[in-house]
């Protein structure tokens, strides 16, 4: 279906909804690389005029990726909840934006609406929004998940403690874990990206993390961020697995490039839930996404990278995950060129994920060859914290020595909590106070006796594991 509009006495024509969406996107290097970006600011605004007047229902009738060729499209269409969609079914995309920003869009109504929205709808409305609009709406969304603690409550901010090590040395992992715990990090998950796929190495990391969690009765969960097939083998071998991790994308071909399918994720989710290791809930999946993954795999079908990213959230939503995060600047400047593009993408992803009912966090990050620096990350950190981010990364010194990129540190997380008056997950906050890592007001205690005992015991456990 073709779309036309007149702007500044010039007629702009678009060959289908896919082209309207791509042209309406804020400028970014990935869409330019794919040859689908707007050719001028005027064309971008023309596409937004078309998009604003488009009925939301149009996204149910015009698939951006063919239903017959893509299982993610089939998932989106077949799982759409028409009853949940009904309250906004009469709106245009522009009208939907106005509704979201109005007082009628309460947290309760947004929660009820989530199942009735498709990724293309939320991606479309995001393209009409300023940054402050994305923050205002995302802040109203409430998505609560549970495993051994409760994540996503108002006034709370989780932190993934990311103690990666360039040689998977257990003592190094333990030292970084201790560092993070003493800064109040780790309530979202203690999650290690391993260098090796060796079953013995993976088992060693799993058992170290589980030993720490069990020995100190930490109300959190552990995860080794290896491929889902490796985690399934660990489960079959009797290794104590809490969460199943996998990177996912917004098209079938993207997921195939990751070596996964919906059937494989179904199997993994079922296997993890069968272990019954969660004390408060059974949200057992952890997914990571990022704008540009579909394009880098040659699997974007001419769809803009932000819409592809939103489609990945439909895959995640199927499994009621504990955690989802966009690794926003990790792929590089070919997809998000500079700090401005990274900041915009992070706000878009958080908005879209929350609106679709996901517990969205963000790895606020950049690669060293991008036109960005830590000041840009500080800006995005505060913006996302204001928007109600579920969790962020805690990396020693903000410099991941294994993945070789720049993220956010334990100090950054402590700064954000203190500045915005945010607290860890309630169960974890109580544990921090019990261990004398924080006082009753949640302030970090330096050099406390509890911290010293924790350090001594972590050292013993790491030495025994190594």
DSSP, residue by residue, 109-122: HHHHHGGG--HHHH
Residue 160 to residues 57, 110, 221, Cα–Cα distance (Å): 38, 26, 10
Nearest to residue 209, comparing CAs of 253, 246, 168, 248?
Answer: 168
Q: What span, in angstroms and rounded, lies between the C-alpha atoms of 266 and 379?
A: 38
Per-residue pLDDT tens for 185-221?
Answer: 999 999 999 999 999 999 999 999 999 999 999 999 9
Bridge partners of 89, per DSSP, are: none
Contacts 24+ apart (CB under 8 A), 257-263: 257/297, 257/299, 259/227, 259/229, 260/228, 261/71, 262/71, 262/75, 262/315, 262/318
Q: Which helix (H) or strand (E) holds 176?
A: helix 170-182
> Which parts of the chain sit beneath pLDDT 70?
447-449, 465-466
Say what the pLDDT of residue 466 is: 65
Residue 21: left (phi > 0), alpha (psi -120 to 50), or beta?
alpha
Question: Which residues on adjacent β-strands are paired with residue 363?
Answer: 327
Q: Which long-range contacts (CB under 8 A, 24 or more apart) does 461-466 make?
A: 461/174, 461/208, 461/211, 461/212, 461/215, 462/170, 462/171, 462/173, 462/174, 462/175, 462/208, 463/171, 465/170, 465/174, 465/204, 465/207, 465/208, 465/211, 466/169, 466/170, 466/171
Is the distance from CB of 97 to CB of 125 less than 8 angstroms? Answer: yes
Residue 406 confidence (pLDDT): 94
- For 446-456, write each residue's pLDDT tens digit: 766 677 778 88
Backbone angles phi, psi at 245, to 5 degrees: -105, 150
Whether the Cβ atoms of residue 95 and residue 291 lie closer than 8 Å to each other:
no
Q: How many other β-carbons are positioned within 10 Å of the β-carbon of residue 13?
A: 11
- Residue whose entry in the numeric block shows the structure tokens 């869009």: 105
Pairing assessment for the beta strands 145-146 and 150-151 based on DSSP bridges:
antiparallel
């Amino acid at each position: 279906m073709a779309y036309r509009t007149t702007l500044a006495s010039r007629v702009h024509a678009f060959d289908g909804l896919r082209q309207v969406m791509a042209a309406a996107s804020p400028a970014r290097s990935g869409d330019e690389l794919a040859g689908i970006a707007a050719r001028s600011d005027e064309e971008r605004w023309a596409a937004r005029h078309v998009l604003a007047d488009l009925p939301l229902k149009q996204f149910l009738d015009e698939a951006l990726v063919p239903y017959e060729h893509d299982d993610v499209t089939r998932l989106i269409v077949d799982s759409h909840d028409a009853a949940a969609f009904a309250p906004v079914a009469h709106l245009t995309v522009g009208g939907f934006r106005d509704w979201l920003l109005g007082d009628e869009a309460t947290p309760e109504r947004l929660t009820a609406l989530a199942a009735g929205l498709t990724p293309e709808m939320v991606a479309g409305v995001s393209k009409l929004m300023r940054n402050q609009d994305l923050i205002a709406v995302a802040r109203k969304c409430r998505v609560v998940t549970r495993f051994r603690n409760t994540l996503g409550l108002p006034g709370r901010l989780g932190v993934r403690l990311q103690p990666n090590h360039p040689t998977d040395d257990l003592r190094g992992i333990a030292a970084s874990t201790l560092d993070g715990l003493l800064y109040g990090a780790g309530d979202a998950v203690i999650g290690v990206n391993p260098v090796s796929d060796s079953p013995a190495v993976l088992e060693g990391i799993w058992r170290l993390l589980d030993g720490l969690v069990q020995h100190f009765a930490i109300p959190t969960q552990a995860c080794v961020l290896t491929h889902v097939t490796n985690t399934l083998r660990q489960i079959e071998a009797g290794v104590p697995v809490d969460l199943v991790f996998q990177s996912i994308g917004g098209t079938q071909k993207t997921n195939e490039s990751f070596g996964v399918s919906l059937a494989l994720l179904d199997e993994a989710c079922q296997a993890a839930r069968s272990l019954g290791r969660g004390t408060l809930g059974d949200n057992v999946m952890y997914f990571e996404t990022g704008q540009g993954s579909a394009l880098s795999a040659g699997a974007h079908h001419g769809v803009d990278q932000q819409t592809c990213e939103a489609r990945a959230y439909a895959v995640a939503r199927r499994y009621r995950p504990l955690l989802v995060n966009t690794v926003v600047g990790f792929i590089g400047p070919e997809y998000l060129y500079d700090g401005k593009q990274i900041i915009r993408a992070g706000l878009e992803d958080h908005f879209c994920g929350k609106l679709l009912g996901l517990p969205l966090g963000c790895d606020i990050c950049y690669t060293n060859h991008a036109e960005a620096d830590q000041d840009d990350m500080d800006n995005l950190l505060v913006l996302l914290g204001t928007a109600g981010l579920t969790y962020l990364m805690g990396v020693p010194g903000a410099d991941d020595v294994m993945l070789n990129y720049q993220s956010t540190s334990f100090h950054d997380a402590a700064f954000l909590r203190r500045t915005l008056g945010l607290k860890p997950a309630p169960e974890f906050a109580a544990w921090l106070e019990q261990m004398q890592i924080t006082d009753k007001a949640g302030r970090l205690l330096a050099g406390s006796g509890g911290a010293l005992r924790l350090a001594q015991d972590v050292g013993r456990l790491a030495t025994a594991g190594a």
